Chain A
Amino acid sequence: MLQASVVADRLSYLDWNATAPVRPEAAAAVAHALTIAGNASSIHRAGRAARHLLEGARACVASLVGARPDEVVFTAGGTEANALALRAFSDRRILASAIEHDSVLANAPGAVRVPVTRDGLVDLSALEQLLAADNRPAMVSLMFANNETGAIQPIAEAAQIAHRHGALIHCDGVQGAGRQPLDMRRLGCTLMTLSAHKLGGPTGVGALVVAGGWDIVPLIRGGGQERGRRAGTENVPGIAGFGAAASAATADAATWATVGMLRVQAEDRLAAIAPDAVIYAAAAPRLPNTICISMPGVPAATQVMALDLAGVMVSAGAACSSGKVRRSHVLDAMGVPEREAECAIRISLGWSTTAAEIDHLVDAWGALYARTRVSAA
């Protein structure tokens, strides 16, 4: 039983950037794969059945990002994939944008931080200068879209700059994959991180896609699975769900235009209610589903709790670790004043989000805004 159901008569899930509901196609693929007993490395019939599912899913995931199946290395998730990418190239000079996910920044503690503009986009001229300042082999880690603001980074342009300086590009594509076309060769990326549960697959699965035949030093060693790049018995049901979700997402591209319309309507209505509210990265190209907005004077934790009581689920930023609401390093890097950043929440939509859920959000957020303005007056 959901606890909130005792206080709210309806629930609207608007925290898709934390995790997305599993797509029905993916849930069916997982349920089917759970009935297959074999270990994908076993050579008997049960093992071959598991291997068949594994390789089918690998092809689906590869096609999501325009890669070859043998370039896909399955991992336990996006965090492990980011760690694998950054640690495999730790002999290079690493540059990472200041708004990368913790799983990038924590695995490259010595990384040079590339600043971002006020709009939340990586500063390309700063990137150029930082690369030009040091001629050691480098790798640039730049996310496709930011998890808090939804700002879509100029990956192709950054890759051109990087390549001019002999640097590789690693792209954390976790928030972009399945929501935007994402062809890693067209973008010029050598490495791409993916997470199943952000695109409607199950949790516990992700991938690092390694283009161009680069060798990677494994993080987890053992039985030689994944061509020696990631050991451990393959999570076949999870991987099958990932493949099904990737296929469904590819086929579902038109839905994201609808999601984008809902987002724009939501932003217009919230801004009309609260003229002093700020929407971040508003001038940047953004994911169709992400709104990062502040309600001045009302701490994010207060907003999130009030919305939760009303049955609307949003977040105060990334969902990782403690659940504690802490200052956003993303808004900080964009130069948002601390007092204002403390009042920012993240609202994220998905393919099944309805207009009624947006009404629910606008009503609840509007009611809170009205209450706080009265009490402030």
Chain B
Amino acid sequence: MTGAIARRPNAAPVYLDNHATTPCDPRVVEAMLPWFSEKFGNPHSLTHAYGREAEQAVEQARAQLADLIGADPRELVFTSGATEANNMAVKGAARFHRQFGKDGVVTLATEHKCVLESAKALERDGFRVAVLPVGRDGLLDLDVLARAIDDKTAIVSVMAAHNEIGVIQPIKEIAALAHAKGALFHSDAAQAVGKIALDVGDLGVDLMSISGHKFYGPKGIGALYLRRRPRARIEPLFDGGGQERGMRSGTLPVPLIVGLGQAAALAKAEMVGEAQRLLALRARFLAGLRAKVSDVVLNGHAERRLPGNLNLSFPGLKAIDLMAACPGLALSTGSACTAAEVEPSYVLRVLGVGDELAAGSLRIGLGRFTTATEVDFAVDTLAAAVLRLRAGGMTSEAAGIT
């Protein structure tokens, strides 16, 4: 066990937090760098060559991203990320449709904080907000959803693939239920885009949020897919110069958009093979760990989940102690947005995982740059830590970590 750790004495920790963020792919960085320096034009300055060159790059990236999700490029609005896109979709759709007497918002208790906080803000403004539970496996019961939607529901928002437990919701069926009652359907697909096949036409989503840095693109950029036919109409989050067809004002960040486009092109080309590779690595991880350690609980549906995701509970242990005992691994307990709080994930509570078990849960995100060697090292390190802690070894208090 010490041997395993000694193999990488000064190396960077093995990165197993690919749901929090992914490394920017070197091919993406390469595509972006010229746009940070010599190609600096403002894409709205169409009166000169620097501006036109930038505008062309933006439109090429828009087409690349559209191609990844089966959209028309004109259906994509660039934002600063998925948080902004989710705020824009949920608040924007609800506020726009209020004029037609619609005042309902339906979402899940396991959604990302930015959707839940947007819904809370709407509730304070007088909207009816239904926050639905999910099953023990993390999946939404479609009957529960059907009962929650009425003809005054403006928008239903359900995450495509979960950021903590990786479960993939039945998006197509959810969209159909929303449409049957005349509601718009939004999906936060920040974790799903580029990882699993998503076709907006097939799924029937009206709005879909995309994040660059969750699939090896840059931070600070994302997009909102906004259906044209039939048109998903929303109110913009803020106004200004009227860029992005008036939906999102502000000078477009060309380098970031070029990076997002490149990330989309790479994901499109490599997704199928990469998903298989990750599935094999994940199976290796889980089987390897279970061969060394008993009583490892997998949270969330075992098959209907992202290829790179594991969410594991270790009964009797605390995640903070486990992470402290594995300095060679970059792990998390859940959403990075709230990671600093180091308290049990609200998502696991919704699943009905008890507080004690939830406190002993780790999120493991394998990604494009995770190797089999790293997986083996991680399994050895984690298993050794679990065994040591279970044998009454070092705890967070004893290690002086508070």
Contacts from A to B (Cβ < 8 Å) = 2-5, 11, 13, 15, 18-22, 24, 26-27, 30-31, 34-35, 37-39, 41-47, 75-80, 82-84, 87, 101-103, 106-107, 195, 197, 202-205, 219-225, 231-238, 241, 301, 304-305, 308, 313-316, 318-323, 325
Contact = CB atoms under 8 A, between A and B. Distances in A.
22 contacts: A3-B49, A26-B36, A39-B336, A42-B336, A76-B253, A78-B250, A79-B238, A79-B241, A83-B238, A102-B240, A102-B249, A106-B249, A202-B255, A203-B256, A221-B117, A222-B83, A222-B87, A222-B112, A233-B219, A238-B219, A301-B47, A322-B44
Contact of A305 (B36, B41, B47, B243): B47
B32 to A, nearest CB: 8
A47 B219 CA distance: 14
B133 interface: no
B81 A321 contact: no
A160 to B, nearest CB: 29
B201 interface: no
B354 interface: no
B237 interface: yes
Contacts of A22: 36-37, 40
Nearest to B242: A321
B206 interface: no
A202 B35 CA distance: 9
Interface in B324-354: 327, 330-332, 335-340, 342
Contacts of A241: 36
Contacts of A2: 49-50, 53
A39 B52 CA distance: 33
A102 B32 CA distance: 29
Interface size class of B (residues with CB under 8 A): 35 or more
Contacts of A316: 47
A75 to B, nearest CB: 8
Contacts of B249: 79, 83, 102-103, 106, 320-321
A70 B298 CA distance: 40
Contacts of A308: 47-49
A235 B220 contact: yes
B238 A107 contact: yes
A41 B342 CA distance: 12
Interchain residue pairs A-B with the least CB separation, the first 3: A223-B337, A235-B220, A320-B241
A102 B241 contact: yes
A304 B47 CA distance: 7
B118 interface: yes
B318 interface: no
A224 B83 CA distance: 11
Contact of B218 (A82, A195, A237): A237
Nearest to A19: B42
A101 B240 CA distance: 8
Interface in B34-75: 36-38, 40-42, 44-53, 55
Contacts of A24: 37
Given A39-B20, A39-B21, A202-B255, A83 B240 contact: yes
Given A13-B50, A83-B239, A233-B21, A220 B332 contact: no
Given A18-B45, A221-B87, A42 B339 contact: yes
B218 A38 contact: no
Given A106-B240, A233-B213, A320-B240, A20 B40 contact: yes
B196 interface: no
A319 B254 CA distance: 14
Contacts of B77: none
Contact of B83 (A5, A107, A231, A238): A231
Contacts of B256: 202-204, 235, 238
A224 B338 contact: yes
A44 B332 CA distance: 8
Nearest to B249: A79
A308 B121 CA distance: 48
Given A37-B23, A203-B252, A305-B47, A223 B114 contact: yes
B243 A43 contact: no
Contacts of B131: none
Interface in B244-273: 249-256
Given A37-B23, A83-B240, A203-B253, A5 B49 contact: yes
Nearest to B367: A37
B275 interface: no
B21 A77 contact: no
A78 B253 CA distance: 12
Residue among A4, A37, A316 having the largest count of chain B Cβ atoms under 10 Å: A37
Residue among B46, B82, B241, B335 having the largest count of chain A Cβ atoms under 10 Å: B241
Contacts of A44: 13, 17, 323, 330-332
Contacts of A82: 240
B255 A203 contact: yes
B230 to A, nearest CB: 26
Nearest to B88: A220
A21 B40 contact: yes
Residue among B38, B219, B330 having the largest count of chain A Cβ atoms under 10 Å: B219
Interface string B15-26: 101001111100
Nearest to B46: A323
Given A45-B330, A103-B240, A202 B36 contact: yes
A64 B242 CA distance: 29
Contacts of A75: 80
A66 to B, nearest CB: 26
B191 interface: no
Given A46-B330, A197-B251, A222-B337, A319 B45 contact: yes
B301 interface: no
